[in-house]
């Protein structure tokens, strides 16, 4: 006797067949059948408190592992809540799939419960967005969504799942299950590889700029190999602050002197100031390696003849080929590389001793001097930086291989969700989330998720009782007497976390911070170290330091 399966079973089993063992989700009417099906498929449902948090967790999973993270939300308002977080994943080039429940197909256009044009809503913030139309093709839809998310320039994909298709039954004998497909990744050609290396060798001050897709640990290690093999300084631009990202030290001085820039999977955009004056020499030339033809075409429109070469290739595959070829000839212009490395790594000596001028408040540099030895204990530690001025101090001070930031989108609020996903991926090494008191308000309820799921991490909260990034903008543009609308209360977020079942610490003196961090780690709980800080602008570094 043949078995029949619900569409929901097809979805859950297709995910399992493709290697997905964990889905980040929030329950709702349209997807209850998938919750039921997940029991038999052996899929772990990480049940969160807000749909955007599910997307942020899938995003973090994609960035840290390179595999597609899966978020599952209900239709209508659930889907609408999730869509905003897709923008962060898109800008970060993160492979992930959002599965959304959906009004039944027979209700479309008739005012069905929570009816919404979901695919249209998600389209601007995804690589692809569509609604399933046939129960027989649900498995193929799941496979296609994951494949698209991981191929070319990685990014989020959305698929809506109408409730009648999930409830419909189909004979298992006629099903075509999806098979795992290797992501489509285009290699760098031999001729272009030789041309690129020749152009780099012929330049006096070349610079390689990689995109967010190279920002995971493997990508950072590979980019270091590229730098060593070619003798060309290489950086990653993954922050909305672009060349002003505090992680990169005084890199703007390097950019201003560069005569050739190789864009390695990095879009020519606002983070680079479009490689134009005054950030760059007006005579600077460019090379673009990118998996997306639309972006190489855009770069050509922007730079014209200054763009010497464009080629379609996966940035990681291209990097591997450049390394192999460059090792046969050796690096060039190592003096320029040394100058550039000094600029990127240099930090003001004053940071080692700066202290707060305000009683019962710490300077951000004091906070991160205390945190640094804890981060350096384990090479596999994961650091998450989220928000504006305070997090920039963390990015500048703490050098780690495994890092997540809010990314090119500039959207804040994802760090607590990122931390939960990071802990699920990394069971042993410490996970630290650095964030401000404005940022924590977005998803503080995810501490309850972390407690419920036994996912310990430590949040270092810089509390200055204001939206400091916006206050700094107001001060610079309009004057100190025009700063308003950005005030917050000096709330006891540590007590909120403790009330949710976590561990809380309150710190107003620098001498107390190391002990508070140690206790937070030792608690084995999700923890919040609420540090009262001075309102200080993010660091801006220029040579000499």
Q: Where are the alpha helices (DSSP H) in 66-209?
A: 77-91, 118-122, 138-150, 163-167, 190-202
For residue range 31-72, list pLDDT tens digits in order: 999 999 999 999 999 999 999 999 999 999 999 999 999 999
Helix, coil or strand: residue 21: coil
Q: How wide is the angle at C-alpha 144 spanned by C-alphas 415 and 15, nearest 5°?
A: 65
Which residues are bridge partners to 262 per DSSP? 208, 287
Percentage of residues of the chain with pLDDT beyond 90: 85
Arch. (CATH architecture) of 349-532: 3-Layer(aba) Sandwich (3.40)
Q: What does the block give as tokens for 464? A: 């200055």
Predicted pLDDT at 224: 96
Angle between helices 51-65 and 415-425 (to 10 degrees): 50
Sheet bearing 527-532, strands edge to edge:
402-405, 382-386, 431-436, 458-463, 527-532, 503-507
pLDDT of residue 545: 66
The answer on pLDDT for 542 being more than 80 is no
Distance, CA of 58 to CA of 379 (rounded, Å): 24
Query: What is the rounded CA–CA span in Å between residue 220 and residue 223?
Result: 5
Per-residue pLDDT tens over the stretch 147-178:
999 999 999 999 999 999 999 999 988 888 99
Distance CA 71, CA 55 (A): 5
pLDDT for 304 equals: 96
Mean pLDDT of all residues belonging to the chain:
94
- When pLDDT is cut at 50, 70 and 90, the band that residue 468 belongs to is confident
pLDDT at 388: 80
DSSP state, 107? Answer: G
* CA gap 225, 319 in Å, rounded: 9
* C-alpha span between 103 and 116 (Å, rounded): 8
Which residues neighbour 100 within 8 Å (Cβ) at sequence distance 6 or greater?
Answer: 30, 72, 73, 74, 75, 78, 79, 82, 118, 122, 158, 159, 160, 161
Q: What number does CATH give the domain 190-345?
A: 3.40.50.1220
* pLDDT mean over 14-28: 96
CA 465, 470, 472, 478 torsion: positive or negative? negative
Unique residue bearing structure tokens 């190279």: 214
Distance, CA of 213 to CA of 150 (rounded, Å): 11
At residue 109 the predicted structure's pLDDT band, cuts being 50, 70 and 90, is confident
Q: Give me the residues paired with residue 506 across strands.
A: 530
Whether the per-residue pLDDT at 402 is higher than 50: the answer is yes
pLDDT for position 2? 62
Range(s) within the chain of domains with CATH label 3.40.50.1220: 190-345
State the Cα–Cα distance between residues 82 and 70, nearest whole angstrom: 12
Look up the CATH architecture of domain 4-174: 3-Layer(aba) Sandwich (3.40)
- pLDDT at position 258 is 97
More confident residue, 526 or 485: 526
Q: Is the pLDDT of residue 1 over 60?
A: no
Helical H segments across 134-209, by residue range: 138-150, 163-167, 190-202
Instruction: Look up residue 82 and give its two tokens.
Output: 């999730």
User: Range(s) for CATH 3.40.50.970 in the chain?
Assistant: 4-174, 349-532
CA–CA separation, 437 vs 490, rounded Å?
A: 8
Gap between the Cα atoms of 514 and 520, Å rounded: 10
Which pTM does this prediction carry?
A: 0.95
Q: Which among 250, 27, 13 is positioned nearest to 142, based on CA atoms? A: 13
Token pair, residue 226, equals: 């590229």
Place of tokens 């995804």: 126
Question: Average pLDDT in the 329-353 region?
Answer: 90
Q: Which residue has the higher pLDDT, 113 or 456?
A: 456
Confidence of residue 447 (pLDDT cuts 50, 70, 90): very high
Alpha carbons 79 and 73: distance in angstroms, whole number: 6
Angle between helices 389-397 and 364-376 (to 10 degrees): 40
């Amino acid at each position: 006797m043949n078995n029949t399966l619900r569409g929901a079973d097809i979805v859950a089993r297709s995910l399992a067949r493709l290697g997905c063992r964990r889905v980040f989700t929030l329950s709702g009417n349209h997807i209850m059948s998938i919750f039921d099906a997940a029991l038999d498929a052996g899929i772990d449902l990480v049940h969160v408190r807000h749909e955007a948090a599910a997307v942020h967790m899938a995003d973090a999973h994609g960035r840290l592992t390179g595999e597609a993270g899966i978020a599952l939300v209900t239709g209508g308002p659930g889907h609408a809540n999730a869509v905003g977080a897709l923008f962060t994943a898109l800008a970060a080039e993160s492979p992930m799939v959002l599965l959304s429940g959906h009004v039944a197909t027979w209700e479309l256009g008739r005012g069905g419960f929570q009816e919404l044009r979901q695919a249209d809503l998600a389209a601007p913030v995804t690589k692809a967005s569509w609604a399933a139309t046939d129960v027989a093709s649900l498995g193929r839809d799941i496979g296609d969504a994951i494949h698209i998310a991981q191929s070319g320039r990685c990014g989020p994909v959305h698929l809506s799942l109408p409730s009648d298709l999930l409830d419909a039954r189909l004979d298992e004998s006629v099903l075509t299950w999806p098979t795992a497909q290797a992501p489509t990744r285009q290699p760098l050609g031999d001729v272009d590889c030789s041309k690129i290396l020749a152009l780099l060798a012929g330049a006096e001050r070349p610079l390689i700029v990689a995109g967010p897709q190279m920002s995971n640990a493997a990508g950072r290690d590979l980019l270091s190999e590229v730098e060593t093999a070619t003798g060309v300084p290489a950086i990653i631009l993954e922050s909305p602050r672009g060349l002003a990202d505090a992680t990169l030290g005084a890199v703007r001085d390097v950019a201003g002197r560069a005569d050739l820039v190789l864009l390695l999977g990095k879009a020519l955009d606002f983070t680079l100031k479009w490689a134009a004056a005054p950030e760059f020499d007006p005579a600077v030339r460019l090379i673009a390696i990118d998996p997306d033809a639309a972006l190489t075409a855009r770069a050509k429109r922007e730079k014209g003849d200054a763009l010497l070469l464009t080629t379609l290739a996966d940035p990681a595959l291209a990097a591997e080929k450049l390394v192999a070829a460059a090792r046969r000839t050796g690096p060039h212009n190592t003096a320029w590389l040394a100058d550039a490395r000094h600029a990127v790594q240099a930090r003001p000596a004053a940071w080692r001793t700066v202290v707060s001028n305000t009683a019962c408040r710490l300077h951000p540099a004091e906070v991160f001097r205390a945190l640094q030895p804890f981060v350096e204990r384990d090479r596999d530690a994961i650091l998450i930086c989220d928000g504006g001025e305070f997090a920039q101090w963390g990015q500048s001070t703490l050098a780690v291989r495994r890092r997540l930031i809010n990314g090119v989108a500039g959207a804040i609020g994802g760090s607590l969700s990122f931390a939960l996903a990071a802990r699920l991926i990394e069971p042993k090494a410490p996970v630290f989330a650095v964030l401000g008191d404005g940022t924590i308000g977005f998803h503080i309820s995810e501490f309850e998720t972390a407690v419920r799921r036994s996912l310990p991490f430590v949040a270092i909260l810089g509390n200055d009782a204001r939206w400091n990034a916006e206050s700094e903008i107001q001060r610079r543009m309009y004057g100190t007497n025009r700063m308003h609308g950005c005030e917050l209360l000096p709330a006891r977020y540590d007590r909120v976390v403790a009330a949710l079942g976590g561990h809380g610490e309150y710190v107003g003196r620098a001498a107390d911070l190391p002990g508070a961090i140690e206790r937070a780690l030792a608690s084995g709980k999700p923890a919040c170290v609420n540090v009262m800080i001075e309102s200080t602008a993010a660091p801006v570094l220029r040579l000499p330091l």
